């Protein structure tokens, strides 16, 4: 970087540097830290009182329903990530290698559209579609099949999660697949490698980082979503995000909700860092 007039340059630099840390400190880090603090507070007669007790942590960590919800949420989000990744890959592969540039751009545009529509409205529509007297079962009934119970089940929850995540995963995968150097693929083919083998040995390793990033985003979104398990899963059984809402609703137990929240954040950060490390390491090895 060229050196210019010292003072103005420093002013200039700081002006760009500081808005983000100031804002995120005041309105992001401090609230999160406050939440950690709050998890040690007491609730008496529906009012929070500053204190330093570990009762909330002991209470939540000793409850079977907390740990059940924890593993269940982890499992559901993990399963959704797996399903979304698998479902998205053929589409992303086709978008990257089997359609023209124009078609690809249009389809990506179509996949972006859901982000500009209300997620709640889409979930409500699924509710109507999946209900026992809903559209799918009515359609199946004309064929003499069904009815199937889809609403208020884990299936419903996962449909909701996929509604949230699938378009994003397809987009991210496509972005990373289309950056794979085509000449490498052709080289593999020329060397007699089969299609499946080419995907496994050439394309996947090259696109790994993008695929992992897509999976991480999918996991984060599914892990924290409360709308799908509530409105499509019937809160039966509840996930951690529903547990948070239930806990804040009942008896003003914010400190306990904070315990759940902190556990979720720690889990997410661990997963995210592990995944990013994985993505990064493989790149270095290459």
Partner 1 sequence: MHNKTTGRFSTWILRAYIALVLVFVFSPLLASMVFSFNSDRFPSLPLGEFTTHWYKAVWNNDAVPEALRNSVIVSLCSAVLGTFIGFCTAYTDYRYQFRGKALYLGLALLPPTIPLVIMGLAMLAWLSRAGLSGTLFAIIIAHTVMCAPFAMALIRLRLQQIDPNLEAAAWNLGASEWRTMRSVIIPFTRPSIIAALCLTAAVSFDEFAVAWFVSGLNKTVPVVILEILQGNVDPQINAIGTFVFIISITLVVITQLIVMKQNKGHRHGR
Partner 2 sequence: MKKTTDQTTVSTGRRGILKAGAALGVSTIIGAPYIRPAHAAPTEINMLAWYGHGEPDMVGAFEEANNVKFKPKYYAGGDNMLALIAQSPPGTYDIILSDAEFVQQLNAAGYIEEMNAADYPFDDFVHSDFQKFPGHWADDKLWSVMVRYGHLGVSYNTERVSAEEAESYKVFWKPELKGKVGHFDWHLPSLGQISLYGGNNSPSPFDIDEGAWTKVQDITRSLRPQVGGFFDYGGTFASLKNGEMSAMCGIGDWITGVLERDGAPVASVVPKEGGIQFTESYSIGKGSEKAEIVKKFIQYMLSPEGQATSAQMAAYPGFCVTNAGMKKLQEVNMAEAQRTGQVEGAANHPVSLIKEGRIHYRDIPKQQSLEDWNDFWSEYKDA
Q: Which residues bind partner 2 (CB under 8 A)?
A: 45-48, 63-65, 68-69, 127-128, 131-134, 149, 151-152, 230-231, 234-238, 243, 246-252
Give the x/- contact pattern for partner 1 in 144-163, rule: CB under 8 A.
------------------xx
**Residue closer to partner 1, measured from CB, 153 or 193:** 193
Which of 1, 143, 191, 284: binder of partner 1 (CB under 8 A)? 1
For residue 46, the partner it binds in partner 2, partner 1, none, with Cβ less than 5 to 8 A by kind, is partner 2
Measured distance CA(175)–CA(111) in Å, rounded: 13
Rounded least distance, CB 246 to partner 2, Å = 6
Rounded least distance, CB 208 to partner 1, Å = 20
Site for partner 1 in 101-120 (CB under 8 A): 107, 110-120
CA torsion sign, 253 to 256 to 260 to 261? Answer: positive
Within the chain, residue ranges assigned H as helices are: 6-17, 19-24, 30-38, 55-61, 64-97, 101-112, 119-130, 135-142, 154-177, 182-190, 195-198, 204-224, 227, 240-249, 254-285
171 binds partner 1 (CB under 8 A): no
**Residue closer to partner 2, measured from CB, 89 or 231:** 231
Angle subtended by helix axes 254-285 and 240-249, to nearest 10: 160
**Residue closer to partner 1, measured from CB, 55 or 132:** 132
6 binds partner 1 (CB under 8 A): no
Residue 152 CA: distances (Å) to CA of 95, 133, 215, 223, 233: 34, 13, 25, 18, 4
269 binds partner 1 (CB under 8 A): yes
Measured distance CA(10)–CA(5) in Å, rounded: 9
For residue 232, the partner it binds in partner 1, partner 2, none, with Cβ less than 5 to 8 A by kind, is none
Measured distance CA(62)–CA(26) in Å, rounded: 33
For residue 27, the partner it binds in partner 1, partner 2, none, with Cβ less than 5 to 8 A by kind, is partner 1
Q: Which stretch binds partner 1 (CB under 8 A): 8-16, 63-71, 177-185, 201-209?
A: 8-16
Site for partner 1 in 64-83 (CB under 8 A): none
36 in Cβ contact with 258 (< 8 Å): yes
**Coil, strand, or helix at residue 237?**
coil
DSSP structural state of residue 5: -
For residue 13, the partner it binds in partner 2, partner 1, none, with Cβ less than 5 to 8 A by kind, is partner 1
67 in Cβ contact with 151 (< 8 Å): no
Which of 40, 57, 155, 226: binder of partner 1 (CB under 8 A)? 226
């Amino acid at each position: 970087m060229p050196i210019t007039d010292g003072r103005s340059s420093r002013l200039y630099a700081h002006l760009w540097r500081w808005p983000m840390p100031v804002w995120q400190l005041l309105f992001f880090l401090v609230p999160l830290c406050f939440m950690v603090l709050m998890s040690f507070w007491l609730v008496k007669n529906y009012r929070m009182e500053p204190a330093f007790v570990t009762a909330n942590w002991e209470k939540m960590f000793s409850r079977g329903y907390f740990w059940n919800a924890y593993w269940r949420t982890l499992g559901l989000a993990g399963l959704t990530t797996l399903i979304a990744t698998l479902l998205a890959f053929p589409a992303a592969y086709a978008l990257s290698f089997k359609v023209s540039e124009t078609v690809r751009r249009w389809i990506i545009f179509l996949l972006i559209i859901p982000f500009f529509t209300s997620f709640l409205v889409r979930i409500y529509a699924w509710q109507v579609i999946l209900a026992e007297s809903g559209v799918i079962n009515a359609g199946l009934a004309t064929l003499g099949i069904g009815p199937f119970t889809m609403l208020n089940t884990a299936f419903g929850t996962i449909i909701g999660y996929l509604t949230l995540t699938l378009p994003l995963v397809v987009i991210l995968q496509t972005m990373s697949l289309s950056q794979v150097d085509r000449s490498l693929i052709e080289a593999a083919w020329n060397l007699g490698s089969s299609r499946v083998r080419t995907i496994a040995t050439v394309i996947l390793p090259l696109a790994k980082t993008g695929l992992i990033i897509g999976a991480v985003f999918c996991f984060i979104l599914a892990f924290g979503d409360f709308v799908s398990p509530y409105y499509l899963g019937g809160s039966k059984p509840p996930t951690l995000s529903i547990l948070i809402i239930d806990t804040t609703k009942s008896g003003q137990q914010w400190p306990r909700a904070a315990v759940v929240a902190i556990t979720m954040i720690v889990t997410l950060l661990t997963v995210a860092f592990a995944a990013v490390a994985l993505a990064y390491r493989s790149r270095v090895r290459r």
